[in-house]
Structure 1
Amino acid sequence: MNSADLGRRVGVPSTALFTDQYELTMVQAALKAGTADRHSVFEAFTRRLPEGRRYGVVAGIGRVQDAVENFHFDDEMLAFLRAQDIVDGPTLDWLADFRFSGDIWGYPEGEVYFPGSPILRVEGSFAECVLLETVILSILNHDSAIAAAASRMSVAAGGRRLIEMGARRTHELSAVASARAAYIGGFDTTSDLAAGFRYNIPTVGTSAHAFTLLHDCERDAFRAQVDSLGRGTTLLVDTYDVAEAVRTAVEVAGTELGAVRIDSGDLLLVAHRVRQQLDELGAAETKIVVTSDLDEYAIASLAAAPVDAYGVGTQLVTGSGQPTCSMVYKLVARATSADPAEPLQPVAKKSLGAKSSVGGRKWAARRLDEDGVAEAEVIGTGPVPDELADRQLLVELVRSGEVVAREPLDVARDRHIAARRGLPLSAMQLSRGEPVIPTEYV
Structure 2
Amino acid sequence: MNSADLGRRVGVPSTALFTDQYELTMVQAALKAGTADRRSVFEAFTRRLPEGRRYGVVAGTGRVLDAVENFHFDDEMLAFLRDQRIVDGQTVDWLADYRFSGDIWGYPEGEVYFPGSPLLRVEGSFAECVLLETVILSVLNHDSAIAAAASRMSAAASGRRLIEMGARRTHELSAVASARAAYIGGFHSTSDLAAGFRYNIPTVGTSAHAFTLLHDSERDAFQAQVDSLGRGTTLLVDTYDVAEAVRTAVEIAGPELGAVRIDSGDLLLVAHRVRQQLDELGATETKIVVTSDLDEYAIASLAAAPVDTYGVGTQLVTGSGHPTCSMVYKLVARARSADPADPVLPVAKKSLGAKSSRGGRKWAARRLDEYGVAEAEVIGTGEVPQELADRQLLVELVRGGEVVAREPLEAARERHTAARAGLPMSAMQLSRGEPVLPTEYV
Distance 1:266 1:216 in 2: 27
The Cα of 1:51 is off from its aligned counterpart by 0.5
Question: 8 Å contact 1:114–1:377 — kept in the other structure?
Answer: yes
Deviations 1:347-372 (A, max 9, x none): 00001000000000000000000000
The Cα of 1:340 is off from its aligned counterpart by 2.5
**Stretch of structure 1 that moved more, 341-350 or 128-137:** 341-350
Distance 1:184 1:370 in 2: 29
Deviations 1:288-340 (A, max 9, x none): 00000000000000000000000000000000000000000000000011122
Question: 8 Å contact 1:5–1:198 — kept in the other structure?
Answer: no
Distance 2:266 2:31 in 1: 63
Deviations 1:381-407 (A, max 9, x none): 010000000000000000000000000
Distance 2:341 2:15 in 1: 31
The Cα of 1:342 is off from its aligned counterpart by 1.3
The Cα of 1:3 is off from its aligned counterpart by 5.9
The Cα of 1:144 is off from its aligned counterpart by 0.1
Distance 2:382 2:156 in 1: 40
Distance 1:166 1:293 in 2: 10
Distance 1:62 1:131 in 2: 19
Distance 2:157 2:383 in 1: 42
1:288–1:2 Cα change, 3 Å: farther
CA RMSD of aligned residues (A): 0.8
The Cα of 1:5 is off from its aligned counterpart by 4.4
Distance 1:396 1:356 in 2: 27
The Cα of 1:83 is off from its aligned counterpart by 1.0
The Cα of 1:86 is off from its aligned counterpart by 0.1
**Identity value in percent:** 92
Question: 8 Å contact 1:36–1:126 — kept in the other structure?
Answer: yes
Deviations 1:264-307 (A, max 9, x none): 00000000000000000000000000000000000000000000
Question: 8 Å contact 1:3–1:407 — kept in the other structure?
Answer: no
Distance 2:390 2:160 in 1: 34
Deviations 1:88-137 (A, max 9, x none): 00000000000000000000000000000000000000000000000000
2:124 partner SS: strand
The Cα of 1:224 is off from its aligned counterpart by 0.4
Structure 1 match to 2:159: 159
Structure 2 match to 1:53: 53
Distance 1:323 1:387 in 2: 37
Deviations 1:7-38 (A, max 9, x none): 11111000000000000000000000000000
Distance 1:253 1:104 in 2: 55
Distance 2:301 2:336 in 1: 58
Distance 2:42 2:270 in 1: 53
Distance 1:250 1:100 in 2: 60
2:7 partner SS: coil
Question: 8 Å contact 1:105–1:397 — kept in the other structure?
Answer: yes
Corresponding pairs, count:
442
Structure 2 match to 1:9: 9
Distance 2:242 2:133 in 1: 52
Question: 8 Å contact 1:42–1:333 — kept in the other structure?
Answer: yes
Distance 1:341 1:194 in 2: 47
Question: 8 Å contact 1:3–1:408 — kept in the other structure?
Answer: no
The Cα of 1:4 is off from its aligned counterpart by 3.1
The Cα of 1:6 is off from its aligned counterpart by 1.8
Distance 2:5 2:84 in 1: 37
Structure 1 match to 2:297: 297
**Stretch of structure 1 that moved more, 154-163 or 1-10:** 1-10
Q: Give the TM-score normalised by structure 1.
A: 0.99
2:139 partner SS: helix
| Structure 1 residue ranges, 4+ long, deviating more than 6 angstroms after superposition | none
The Cα of 1:2 is off from its aligned counterpart by 6.0
Q: Give the TM-score normalised by structure 2.
A: 0.99
Deviations 1:176-211 (A, max 9, x none): 000000000000000000000000000000000000
**Stretch of structure 1 that moved more, 332-341 or 287-296:** 332-341
1:219–1:244 Cα change, 3 Å: same
Distance 2:217 2:429 in 1: 45
1:310 partner SS: strand
Deviations 1:153-198 (A, max 9, x none): 0000000000000000000000000000000000000000000000
Distance 1:435 1:345 in 2: 31
Deviations 1:27-80 (A, max 9, x none): 000000000000000000000000110000000000000000000000000011
The Cα of 1:220 is off from its aligned counterpart by 0.4
The Cα of 1:341 is off from its aligned counterpart by 2.6
Distance 1:342 1:377 in 2: 30
Mapping of 1:60-99 within 5 angstroms?
60-99=60-99
Structure 1 match to 2:349: 349
Question: 8 Å contact 1:41–1:124 — kept in the other structure?
Answer: yes
Distance 2:4 2:37 in 1: 36
1:289 partner SS: strand
